[in-house]
Structures are given as C-alpha cells and as structure tokens.
Amino acid sequence: LNRRGLEEALSAASRAAAAGTPCALAHVDMDRFKLINDLYGHGIGDGMLQAAAARLTSAIRGSDSIARLADSFII
C-alpha cells in the first residue's frame, strides 16, 4: 500500500478494534538502509526493499495489509 492505502487500512483496523475485533500493528524498519544506498547504489537498495517486501508479504495473511514508507514497512 501507499500512504493513502495505509491510512485507509489503519482506519478500518481502528473501527474493527472499536467493535471488539483483535488487531495488531507492526513497524519494520530497515536499519542503516541509507548506508546501503550510499555504498552500493540505489539499484541495490531498491532490490533489498523488493526482497524485504516479498518476504514480509509471504509471511502475512491475505486479509492483512502491508505498506512501505521510505525505508520502513507497516503491517
């Protein structure tokens, strides 16, 4: 998801939680990501973000949402 999609997903989760449905939020930060871009270039950095996104996506349920904001992922 992009930022707008994340905002919509958070609103939906907030409504679900208010109705008694258990919800969780995880923030996954890519530590020292700027250093990777600086040392190896943006192509390598983009590849790392894509690999991280694929791994996280494979680990969540189909009903869950994942968004990327800069060098972080929100699940």
53-62 tens-digit pLDDT: 999 999 999 9
Give the integer Cα–Cα distance in Å for 13 and 38.
37
- Looking at the whole model, is its pTM more than 0.85? no
Residue in this structure with the two tokens 């020292």, named with its chain if needed: 32
Q: Is the per-residue pLDDT at 71 higher than 90?
A: no
Compute the average pLDDT of residues 29-52. Answer: 93
Q: Is the per-residue pLDDT at 70 higher than 90?
A: no
